[in-house]
């Protein structure tokens, strides 16, 4: 009966997500709309989409387990997450403006345009895809732990992994069907459960722990210290993991694309302002639960299971609700990663290769007599600034984007050029 309640709760949660997606479906007219949700979402959806992508289900497991097994060092999650939010506000104007002006769809798209290099675009896309795969695997592991706990011992770990893979594969039907728009809308539903309801559960668990002999005084004194001089990790360890975490935050393709889905720069900045307190309150609450629960023998034996062990004090319903929080956070992160992976593959690898092959074929077919006519049209054009002179606060002149069309019209009509400026 307990397993039936737990698995039914997950099934109902998935049904809710699908109903919301079907009722809000919108047909995208172009691939750009599919990849960026038409750059149409406001600050609330932006906040939920960023948070649901940034804080995966492993926050309840690995990061909480770090706090339960090592102490306050686990709170570095909150520190570097807030630094990442600050970087969002700093990147908002240049990235969003260039994305809208030049129809950019991915992080690799931006880098390829900035350096006018197909090689940069291909390499950036490849790195992003490879770096994304571990997060997808971690998502599967997070879901496997959920299905293992909600089975209450009736499902073997390997079977739980297979179930998690099946759930993720089933959920991606709607990710593929509705693109980034579907990802953002589902992030709203999943985020409400993962972070708002998750915070309420965490606060309730904190109160229970404090009232039942698991207060701050019961935590091992070593858990209140950070690595310092003479320690094995060294005095700069905490600073380094916060700094590298923040610096690398916007290197993730699934995070970076959030700057393209907003409807304005102001929306992105409001998203940053709204995300900061949500991440701070949620992250702190979950880490406090883990820290206080570290005095429980069961948690000390398996720190990564702290979220489910503490939730078990409320019976099967609370464990089910805690599991839904993990599922919501995991589906948001995995869905965003898979969508980013697919878009970068289509836009920045297959697209670049296909356009390069198309240009080669057209060049081979173009008659040489069109070249003198094209050359005669060049002196009448304004000078074209070198691409290297562009900066974040400058943009290509009209001459640079209109020259291919002028050159084409001056020829015999056999030379065709792509319509997206600065794209191969």
CB 254 within 8 A of CB 53: yes
Residues 236-269: tens digit of each pLDDT: 999 999 999 998 899 999 999 888 988 899 999 9
Residue in this structure with the two tokens 């339960």, named with its chain if needed: 68
Q: For residue range 31-55, list pLDDT tens digits in order.
A: 888 888 888 899 999 999 999 999 9
Residues with Cβ within 8 Å of 288's Cβ and at least 6 positions away in sequence, in order, are: 202, 206
CA distance 363 to 221: 72
CA–CA dist 367, 31 (Å, integer): 33
* pLDDT, position 404: 40
Distance (Å, whole) CA 349 – CA 326:
33
What is the per-residue pLDDT across 179-223, written as a single tens digit (0 to 9) for each? 888 899 999 999 999 999 999 999 999 999 999 999 999 999 999
pTM of the model: 0.81
Q: How many helices (H) and strands (E) does the chain have?
A: 19, 0
- Residue 343 tokens read as 């878009």
Q: What distance in Å separates the CA atoms of residue 108 and residue 338, rounded to the nearest whole number?
A: 16
Cα four-point dihedral sign 56, 58, 61, 62:
negative
Say if residue 136's pLDDT is above 60: yes
Q: Which residues, listed in sequence order, are joined to residue 41 by a DSSP beta bridge? A: 262
134 in Cβ contact with 302 (< 8 Å): no
Retrieve residue 48's tokens.
């939920």
Distance CA 129, CA 92 (A): 23
Please, are residues 39 and 263 in contact by the beta-carbon 8 Å criterion?
yes
> What whole-number distance in Å separates Cα of residue 170 and Cα of residue 166?
6
pLDDT tens-digit profile of 276-306? 999 999 999 999 999 999 999 999 999 999 9
- Kindly report the number of other CB atoms within 10 A of residue 79's CB atom: 18
**Per-residue pLDDT reduced to its tens digit, 76-93:** 999 999 999 999 999 999
41 SS3 class: strand
pLDDT score of 379 more than 80:
no
Q: Look at residue 393 and tell me whether its pLDDT is greater than 80.
A: no
pLDDT at 35: 85
- pLDDT at residue 418 is higher than 70: no
């Amino acid at each position: 009966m307990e397993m039936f309640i737990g698995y039914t709760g997950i099934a109902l949660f998935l049904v809710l997500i699908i109903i919301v997606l079907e009722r809000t479906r919108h047909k995208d007219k172009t691939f750009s709309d599919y990849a960026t949700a038409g750059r149409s979402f406001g600050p609330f959806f932006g906040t939920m989409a960023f948070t649901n992508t940034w804080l995966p289900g492993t926050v309840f497991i690995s990061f909480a387990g770090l706090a339960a097994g090592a102490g306050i060092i686990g709170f570095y999650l909150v520190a570097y997450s807030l630094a990442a939010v600050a970087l969002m506000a700093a990147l908002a104007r240049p990235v969003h403006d260039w994305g809208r002006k030049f129809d950019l769809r991915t992080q690799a798209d931006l880098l390829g345009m900035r350096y006018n290099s197909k090689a940069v675009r291909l390499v950036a896309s490849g790195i992003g895809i490879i770096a994304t795969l571990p997060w997808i695997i971690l998502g599967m592991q997070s879901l496997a732990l959920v299905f293992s706990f909600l089975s209450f011992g009736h499902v073997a770990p390997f079977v739980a992994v297979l179930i998690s893979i099946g759930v993720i594969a089933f959920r991606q039907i709607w990710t593929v069907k509705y693109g980034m728009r579907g990802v953002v809308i589902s992030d709203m539903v999943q985020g409400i459960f993962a972070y708002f309801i998750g915070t309420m559960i965490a606060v309730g668990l904190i109160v229970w722990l404090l009232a039942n002999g698991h207060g701050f005084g019961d935590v091992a004194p070593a858990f209140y210290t950070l690595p310092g001089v003479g320690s094995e990790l060294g005095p700069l360890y905490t600073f380094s993991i916060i700094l590298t975490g923040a610096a690398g935050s916007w290197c993730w393709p699934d995070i970076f694309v959030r700057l393209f889905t907003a409807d304005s720069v102001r929306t992105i900045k409001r998203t940053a302002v709204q995300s900061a307190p949500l991440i701070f309150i949620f992250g702190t609450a979950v880490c406090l639960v883990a820290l206080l629960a570290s005095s429980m023998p069961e948690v000390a034996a398996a720190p990564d299971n702290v979220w489910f062990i503490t939730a078990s004090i409320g019976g099967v319903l609370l464990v089910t609700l805690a599991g839904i929080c993990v599922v919501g956070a995991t589906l948001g992160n995995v869905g965003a990663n898979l969508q980013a992976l697919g878009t970068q593959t289509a836009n920045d690898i297959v697209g670049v290769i296909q356009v390069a092959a198309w240009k080669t074929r057209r060049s081979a077919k173009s008659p040489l007599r069109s070249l003198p006519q094209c050359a005669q049209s060049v002196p009448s054009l304004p000078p074209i600034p070198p691409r290297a002179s562009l900066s974040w606060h400058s943009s290509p002149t009209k001459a640079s984007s209109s020259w291919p069309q002028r050159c084409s019209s001056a020829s015999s009509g056999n030379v065709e050029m792509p319509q997206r400026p600065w794209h191969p």
